[in-house]
Structure 1
Amino acid sequence: MKVTLNRVNDAFHFKLKNERGHVVDVDSRAEFGGSDLGASPMELVLMGVAGCSAIDMISILKKQRQEITSFNAEVEGERVKVGEATPFKEINVVFYLEGDINPEKAQRAAQLSFEKYCSVSKTIEPTATINYKVVLNNTELEKVN
């Protein structure tokens, strides 16, 4: 896996491209000297958690023949000062699913994603706590033990 970065302006706007040609804009917010023309690197980390776990969950639920009519997620990260850096201390993920989906299967799909499959979460796990919950058809599900 490889990505390339090219600077776009004289501040912090970059275009990053993967080997398949997909481009992502990265920038810093204006208050930090950027032009706010793209997501920040730390926002991309949260997006990575959301995307990775969503792919896992949808894949698991499709294999179980669950009918997903809507799938959304919200991811929030809490950062903490460590020297000059501010890494994530805690990440909270909420999945919103709708459809004819067995609640136990939905909750188990989330559990499997974070405990076994999601490489992004596994990369972050040593330094940040990742919490998740599943809301199915407007009802928050209980955790599976």
Structure 2
Amino acid sequence: MTDPAHQTPELTDETFRSIALTRIGEGRYKATNARGGETFIGSGGDDPDFTPVELLLAAIAGCSAIDVDGITGKRAGATQFDLTASGHKIRDEQGNHLVGLRVSFDVVFPEGEAGDAARAALPRAIAQTRDRLCSVGRTVALGEPIEYVEGSTYG
């Protein structure tokens, strides 16, 4: 019998996410989301574009920031809200990958009762984003196979 807590939820149009990626130059790409937003990805040369590794770190930090800011912000808005995401890109017998991933929060709340409540909620909010809420961080932590397929190619 399958444990209901470990069943895969139904995959629907509502759960689906995607981006389109187009090469715009040597070592440069444009990613476009379904809402028309764009960001640029580079290979780490002379251009200012984020590398894929930097985007992954930004995605982990951004996902966690949204969660934690949402939880603590119900008590008091932060007067400072900064995160740093870091890790080491290494190559070993498993290929290229990141190790030592870390997200550091530097958050300041105003003085007073509401700020005290937000400060008290911060450790639990960070634990919740790490353990349950941040889909990007959870995917990295849990691991999920990626299917690579060849699509249509034209002349």
Smaller-chain TM-score range? 0.7 to 0.9
The offset of 1:117, in angstroms, is 0.2
Structure 1 position 22 matched with structure 2 position 33: no
The runs of 4+ residues in structure 1 deviating greater than 2 Å are 82-85, 100-104
- The structure with the largest strand share of the pair is 1
Offset, 1:126: 3.2
Task: Give the structure 1 partner of residue 129 of structure 2.
Answer: 113
Q: Which residue of the partner structure matches residue 40 of structure 1?
A: 51
The answer to whether structure 1 residue 91 and structure 2 residue 101 are counterparts is yes
Matched, 1:4 2:20: yes
- Provide the C-alpha distance between the structure 2 equivalents of 1:79 and 1:16, rounded to a whole number of angstroms: 22
Matched, 1:13 2:23: no
- Provide the TM-score with structure 2 as the length reference: 0.71
**Structure 2: where are the runs of 5+ without partners?**
1-16, 144-155
Cα deviation per residue 1:105-129 (whole Å; 9 max; x = unaligned)? 11111111111100011011036xx
Q: Distance in 2 between matches of 1:107 and 1:91?
A: 18
SS of match in other structure, 1:47 = helix
Residue correspondences, number? 121
Instruction: Say which one has the larger Rg.
Output: 2
CA RMSD of aligned residues (A): 1.7
Relative to structure 2, which stretch is displaced further, 53-62 or 82-91? 82-91
TM-score scaled by structure 1?
0.76
- 1:76 Cα offset (Å): 0.8
Percent identity (aligned): 27
Displacement after TM superposition at 1:82 (Å)? 3.5
